[in-house]
Amino acid sequence: MQAAAAFQSHEMPSDIRWMQAVTQFMAWVMLALAVAAALTWVSRQPFFQIRQVRIEGELQRNNLPTVRANALPRIHGDYFSVDLQHARQVFETVPWVRKAVVRRVWPNELRVTLEEHRPAAYWSHDERDDQLVNIQGEVFDVNIGDVEDERLPTLKAPTHATADQAQQMLQMLGRLRTVLAPLGTEIDTLELNDRGNWIVTLEDEAVINLGRGEIPDVIGRASRFVRTLPQLQAQYGQPLESADLRYPKGYAVKLRGLTTLQENSVVKSGAIQRQ
């Protein structure tokens, strides 16, 4: 009993313990506020103001003065407070810029790496013809006059085309360029109409209706057409005007100056019928 009484007599009263806890808590709060105030004061010193913006990347459509003039007036803050996400978005609004990466470099520099769009084709849909498709299949806005001297094909999309269709059409364009290369002319326009038919217009104004289907099916029809067309041209000595590949067992061809022909075999009533 005496030992227990002695132990209780040395125990600190609860109100004193509470006061000590509050005091320690307030001390930590004051220390945190002091540190925050010090950091705020330091960050606002002129030494940390952004003094240099280094722009890197292979620029072909832009130059550094143009990029700086478009972006820098809209970027605010010092090394600590500048919003990198906002800065990235600002740089990506500069014409021709596809992607920007912005990072801080101690103690007062921003380093920006830019990637420009590389145009692959004109994009025409919903009565708009003022956009381009880049090599990634992404549609972007641009001053069309910037590429008027470049031989870009046109992708003519169906009504209400989606971003996925732009990628699909660009993929089809690449495949068809290879398949149709033996014809000796480039693709001027690749159209995917509202019925799902793929239609190619060549630079010599010949038109080829490739029909509907998945890319491998369409490419297969185009390949067979290219392999057999020279036989008809050699026989009649005329260039291609149009072709319709939607027939299940052949295709219809119109050569310049001649009536419509159907691939393979003998002439009947002004047409070559497939056997």
> Other C-beta atoms within 10 Å of 106: how many?
7
Is pLDDT at 2 greater than 80 in this prediction? Answer: no
- Tell me the C-alpha distance between 61 and 142, whole Å: 11
Q: What is the CATH number of the domain that holds 83?
A: 3.10.20.310
Over residues 66-75, mean pLDDT: 95
Domain range for 244 is 119-272
pLDDT of residue 275: 34
Of all residues in the chain, what percent are helix, strand and coil, respectively (each to 5)? 40, 30, 35
Q: Are residue 54 and residue 68 in the same domain, yes or no?
A: yes
> Other C-beta atoms within 10 Å of 119: how many?
19
Pairing of strands 139-141, 154-156: unpaired
CA 5 vs CA 17, 61, 147, 153, 220: distances in Å:
20, 89, 96, 98, 100
pLDDT of residue 1: 47
Q: Are residue 111 and residue 218 in the same domain, yes or no?
A: no
Over residues 230-259, mean pLDDT: 89
Q: Are residue 88 and residue 211 in the same domain, yes or no?
A: no
Q: Are residue 55 and residue 78 in the same domain, yes or no?
A: yes
> Please, which pLDDT band fits residue 17 given cuts at 50, 70 and 90?
confident
Q: Are residue 105 and residue 124 in the same domain, yes or no?
A: no
Copy the structure tokens of residue 105: 């470099």
Pick from 17-26, 36-45, 54-63, 256-265 the range whose average pLDDT is largest.
54-63
Number of domains making up the chain: 3
Instruction: Of 80-89, 107-116, 125-134, 211-220, give the lowest mean pLDDT range.
Output: 125-134
How many DSSP H helices and E strands does the chain contain? 6, 15
- List, in sequence order, every residue forming a beta bridge with 190; answer none if it has no partner: 155, 200
Over residues 73-95, mean pLDDT: 95
pLDDT of residue 269: 26
Q: Are residue 77 and residue 126 in the same domain, yes or no?
A: no
Helix (H, G, I), strand (E, B) or coil at 213: coil
Can you state the angle between helices 215-236 and 163-180, rounded to 10 degrees? 30
Q: Are residue 139 and residue 238 in the same domain, yes or no?
A: yes
Q: Are residue 109 and residue 209 in the same domain, yes or no?
A: no
CB 125 within 8 A of CB 161: yes
Q: What is the CATH number of the domain that holds 163?
A: 3.40.50.11690
% of the chain surpassing 90 pLDDT: 64
CB 254 within 8 A of CB 241: yes
Over residues 126-144, mean pLDDT: 93
Over residues 221-244, mean pLDDT: 92
Is pLDDT at 193 greater than 50 in this prediction? Answer: yes
- The rounded mean pLDDT for the chain is 87
Q: Are residue 133 and residue 6 in the same domain, yes or no?
A: no
Show contacts of 9-16: CB within 8 Å, 24+ apart. Answer: none
pLDDT of residue 221: 96
Domain boundary pick from 69, 90, 116: 116
> Please, which pLDDT band fits residue 273 given cuts at 50, 70 and 90?
very low
Q: Are residue 167 and residue 77 in the same domain, yes or no?
A: no
- Tell me the C-alpha distance between 22 and 31, whole Å: 14
Instruction: Of 61-65, 202-206, 254-258, give the lowest mean pLDDT range.
Output: 254-258
DSSP string of 19-35, one letter each residue: HHHHHHHHHHHHHHHHH
pLDDT of residue 261: 58
Over residues 247-267, mean pLDDT: 71
Choice between 199 and 13, residue whose per-residue pLDDT is larger? 199
Q: Are residue 29 and residue 111 in the same domain, yes or no?
A: no
Q: Are residue 167 and residue 240 in the same domain, yes or no?
A: yes
The DSSP H or E segment spanning 251 is none
